[in-house]
Structure 1
Amino acid sequence: MLIEGYGHGPVVAGESLVGRRGFWANHLLAMCGDGTCAERAVPEWFGGDGADADALAEVLFDPEQWPVFRVLVPDGHPVSGVVVVYRNLVDEFGVDHLPGGPGTGAGLISGLSWQQLIRVAECTEPSAEGVQDVSGRLLLLLPLLSGEWSGDLVRERIVAALVAVGAPEYTVGRAAGHLLRHLERRALHDSGWGSPLSGG
C-alpha cells in the first residue's frame, strides 16, 4: 500500500483490526488522555478490558507496521473521504488524517464539522476498500470533530455507535459524555493526539 507523502513507509491496511476487542479503547481513549477530568476513562467503557487494549496496542503502535484505516466515499461525493494513519515513528508518534479522494493532495485534515463527518460516515455507497460499517466510520472520524454542534444530537449518535461496536450499555452513556467533554474542550485546538497506552 502506498500513500502520497509517505514514500515507501511501512503502512499496512488496518481495517481488520476494527472488530477486535480493545480497538476502540485504544482509538478513543487517546482523546481523553489530557488529564483534565476528575474521572478517568477506562478501556472497559469501550468493550474489552485493559488486557485486550494492551494486546492490541502492540499491533496499533508497532513502529514497523503503521496501520491505515480508510473511510472512503465515491468520486463526486460532496465531502472527501479520510485515511487515518497511525504514524508510529519511534520518537514522534501521531495519528494523521489525510484526504481519501483522488486529486485532493497530501495535506492533513485538521477537522470536520458535524455535518461533514456524518456525510462521510453515512455515505450510502462507500468504496469496496476500507471500513464499511457506519458506526465504525463515525467513531474512526470522531477525533476530527470541530466547530459547533448540538450536544444532545451528537451524544445520541455516539451512544448508538458505541453500542453497535460492542461497548457495554451500562457504561455507554458515561463514555459518550466523557468523549464529548473532551471534544468540546479541544474544538478549537490541534487535533493531534498521542496514545495514553504508549505514554504519548
Structure 2
Amino acid sequence: MLIEGYDDGPLTAGEPLLDRPGFWSNHLLVLCGYGDRAERPDPEWFGDDGADADALSEVLFDPGHWPVFRVPAGTGPGAVVVYRNLAGDYGTDYLLTGPDGSGTRRIARWDADFTGAGLTWRELTGIADGHLSTTEPTEEAESPEPAEGVRDTASRLLLLLPLLTDPEVPEEASARVATALTEVGAPAYTASATADHLLAHLERRSRHDPAWASPLSGGRE
C-alpha cells in the first residue's frame, strides 16, 4: 500500500480489523475521558472486554505494521486514518483525499492530544455518508467509483469521529452516534450514554473557529 508522505512506513490495510473484538474501544475509549463524570470508561461500553482490547492493541500498535483505514467517497473528499506506529512517535494521523484517493493531505493528528483543524459535524457526516462535495454537480458529470476501503456508514462515522471540532453539534448528533455504536456491536443499553460521553469530551476540547478556513476548502493543519 502506498500513501503520499508515508514512504517509510510499513502500511497495511486495516479494514479487516474493524470487525475484530476490541477495535472500537481502542479507537474511541480515550475520547470518553472522565471530565466531571465519576464513571470510569470501560471497553464494555463498546461491546468489548479488557482481554479483547489488550489483544487488539498489540495488533493496532505494532511498529512492524501501520494499519490504514480508507474512507472513500464517490464525490467530494474522502479520508484516511493511519495508525503511525513509529517507535517513540506513536500516534494516529487523519488525512483528506480526493474522490479517487489522490491528493492526500494530513489535517489532524492524535498523539497525547489532538492537534489540527478538525471538521464540523456537517463536514464529518458528509464524508461518512459519502456524498459531501465542495462543488455543485452537473448533469453531465459522472460520479467516480469509490476507491477501496470502508463502505459501512456507521464505521465511517466512528472512524472519523475524533476529527469533530464543532462547538455547536446539533441535538440529533447523540442519537446518530448511539445508532452507529450499536451497529458496530456496542450494547444497546450503553450506546446512548457512550455517545453522550464521546460528544461531551469532543465539545470540551473543541477548537474549531468559524473564521478558520475549513480543511475541505484548503485550510491546513
Q: Fold conserved (TM > 0.5)? A: yes
CA RMSD of aligned residues (A): 1.9
Structure 1 unaligned spans of 5+ = 190-200
- Does structure 1 residue 17 correspond to structure 2 residue 17? yes
- CA deviation after TM superposition for structure 1 residue 92, in Å: 1.3
Give the Cα–Cα distance (whole angstroms) in 1 for the partners of residues 78 and 104 of structure 2: 12
Q: Which amino acid aligns with 1:156?
A: A
Asked whether the equivalents of residues 70 and 100 of structure 1 are also in contact (C-alpha less than 8 Å), the reply is no
Name the structure 1 match of 2:65. Answer: 65
Q: What percent identity do the matched residue pairs reach?
A: 54
Name the structure 2 match of 1:134. Answer: 153
Asked whether the equivalents of residues 46 and 186 of structure 2 are also in contact (C-alpha less than 8 Å), the reply is yes
Name the structure 2 match of 1:198. Answer: none
Name the structure 2 match of 1:115. Answer: 122
Name the structure 1 match of 2:194. Answer: 175
- CA deviation after TM superposition for structure 1 residue 150, in Å: 3.4
Asked whether the equivalents of residues 22 and 53 of structure 1 are also in contact (C-alpha less than 8 Å), the reply is yes
Higher relative contact order (CA 8 A, sep 6+): 1
Name the structure 1 match of 2:3. Answer: 3
TM-score by structure 2 length? 0.78
Q: Which amino acid aligns with 2:125?
A: I
- Does structure 1 residue 83 correspond to structure 2 residue 90? no
- CA deviation after TM superposition for structure 1 residue 128, in Å: 4.6
TM-score by structure 1 length? 0.85
- Give a deviation string over 1:69-120, Cα, whole Å, max 9, x none: 000112xx23x11100000112111100011225534333431111111111
- Give a deviation string over 1:128-169, Cα, whole Å, max 9, x none: 511000000000000001123335211010010001111001
Give the Cα–Cα distance (whole angstroms) in 1 for the partners of residues 82 and 55 of structure 2: 19
Residues 107 and 170 (structure 1), Cα distance of their counterparts in 2 relative to 1, 3 Å cut? closer
Structure 2 unaligned spans of 5+ = 109-115, 132-142, 209-221
